[in-house]
Amino acid sequence: MSVSLKVDKIEHHTVIKFFVKEGLTPNEIHSKFIKFYGDSSPSFLRIKKWAAEFKHGRTSLEDDPLEGRPKCATTPEIIEQVHDMVLDDWWLKGREISETIGISKERVGYILHEELDMKKLCARWVPPLLPAYQKCTRMKISEQCLERFNKNKTGFVHRFITMDETWIHHYTPDSKQQSKQWTETRCSAPKKTRLVPSEGKVMTWVFWDAEDILFIDYL
């Protein structure tokens, strides 16, 4: 705080104290400040606060000293707390973290991006996630197949045929986002009838080896 600003505040507080002694209300004091000080007048809330304190016996004209240094939101304890919350729930929003810990959303974003080097990404579609026992089964089968292949590198035995099943969609309706279109501001939202084919799919078996697809069967 500059010296001139501090002097201005003390001057304002002195005038407020004088008007309180005169019996003026905060509204009347604010009107007089606007008349004589113009744009440099203190706000009505500040006048109301100081008028109430002087009315209840305050004598000091200076602001109360701040207790200690302002709390820093990027302490190791808070960073660790944010990290633990994210590890417990990967879908947490910054607002939820902010409300739980009691720090600003900006500080939460700084901790996540700068201190923890994290970013939030949309999930990527992948084949079905396998539990641990299914992964072990696939590993054992692969090892058996590799062992057979190494023992019989010549002849028909080395040819492995693989089969998998999948759903094939033969119609995919437009989503609400895909049906958006530009319109003039004064126009209402476009309309779309419900008389469209529903989504259809069929189970398909596919057989292939290392060289080509061998057979496709639609069930």
Written as tens digits, the pLDDT of the chain (219 aa) is 444 445 578 888 999 999 999 999 999 998 888 888 887 888 888 888 889 889 888 888 887 765 544 456 678 888 888 888 888 887 788 888 888 888 888 888 888 888 888 887 776 666 677 888 888 898 998 898 888 877 776 655 557 788 888 888 776 666 666 666 665 556 666 666 554 555 678 889 999 887 889 999 988
φ/ψ region of 118 (left if φ > 0, alpha if ψ in -120 to 50, else beta) reads beta
Q: CA-to-CA distance for 14 and 16, rounded, in angstroms?
A: 5
Contact 116, 94 (CB under 8 A): no
Contacts of 149 (CB under 8 A, 6+ apart): 158, 160
pTM of the model: 0.33
Q: CA-to-CA distance for 21 and 51, rounded, in angstroms?
A: 10
